[in-house]
Structure 1
Amino acid sequence: MKLNRYYILALTFCLIITEANYAQTTRRSTEGQTLSSRIDKVQHNMLLNGANLANANGSPFINDEFELVKFKKLGNRVFLARYNANLGEMQLKRENDTIALDNTKNLELTFTQSNKVYKTHSYTNKENISKCGFLVVLMENDSLALLKEELVKFYDRKPPSNSYEKIKPAEFKRLSDVYYYRQGDKVSLLPQKRKDFLKLFPQHSSELKDYIKENKISLKKDEDLITLFEYINTL
């Protein structure tokens, strides 16, 4: 299966993508040059971290191996992909290299083995930064959706502060997932405290309070949140 350099099946699916060949490490030609594309950002980050990235413990990927995926708009055609939760990028494997899908486009794909669905959304994260990126779809209908952001953070190599300490190697560390909800077209952070969560649905706060208590619902677990949102959908 052969993919065009800038478009995946351009005649049937106008999907603009950005080249992201992570093996490439060409330096910028001038010191003050502005990064003009996502590939420049990837190269720049790799050059800054250098050997630390290559030798870091852990992984930036949710799964290191590329797995089969299907795009909602492409029927039964299959591709190989993996999600880089450190860069927030969905990577697609081609014959000779790897590309990163454009997060600003309306995309939805499913990993066929796990049935895990990723969908692009515009949202504001917990650091109050506006983003466009892939969120995991845990539950969704036309009016309401439960979404999850997967995060991996890179910690640089830490030299010892005294003669008794050892060098702490660089590492990629999986952070706690962050939950969001969509009402209509707006995606917002999902409150983790019960009293704040109940304020989202004031007309059903009494029923929800009882349901959460009786079923010992945790607002920090996938399975419990899915159960809760499915219940909300019945109210």
Structure 2
Amino acid sequence: MFSSAVARDRSSEEMHFPERESSPEDLRQQLVVQNTFLDLSGGVSAMERFTQLRRVRSDPTLAVESEGDGETEEAPASEVPEIVERLASLASEEQEAHVPEPRGRTTVCLRNVPNNYTRQMFVELLEKQGLSGHFDFLYLPCDFHRHANLGYAFINLVNEAGVLKFWDIFHGFTAWTLPTAKVGQVSFSGPHQGLRAHIDRYRNSPVMHKSVPEEYKPLLFKSGTPQPFPPPTRKVKRPAPAKRR
């Protein structure tokens, strides 16, 4: 529905490309289809292969990049569930051994969020997964002009147990409300960690300017209930207008 361009990470405070925090570089390995079988060779883990299976076309077919010439092969929609199920099984086995120790870190970045998820839809997703009361900060950066999120979100959990719970649910997550082949990928956020750091980070940000629609702003929670964001400590700049292309 939305151009793939909206999912690209940006490092600007401009209105059309909100600020982001650092998160792991997008994986560049491609899923290879050879003779109707999935090629999982080349030293790349099943989890990494699984994260590549995420582009869904409206015709509907899944475009899977083939090896060598860069052309695409169209996998019929009927084959997609089987492919997803097979890779999900392999990926779930890997992820159990790859949940890192929080070591005091409570803020995570969730990548591969479907671009047409709104902030409210994302909050409802977390609550549906049993995380109500486990997080106190949430920010889903959006492209204000295309009315789409940028494909990642920042969530601060209230404690390390919440981090492990979130990681267990969303690393390898595929049960999105909307039809998509995107696979959730969780990492720790940086350089900002913790609730206080994120309040300080965003309270004076252009994203908090009065001209920005409420649904594009960060949210604070206490025991599952939305809380008002602390007022800015200096004048908040208006977001820069979209650049003409």
TM-score, structure 1 normalization: 0.23
Q: Whose strand proportion is higher, 1 or 2?
A: 1
Larger C-alpha radius of gyration, 1 or 2? 1
Q: Whose helix proportion is higher, 1 or 2?
A: 2
Higher relative contact order (CA 8 A, sep 6+): 2
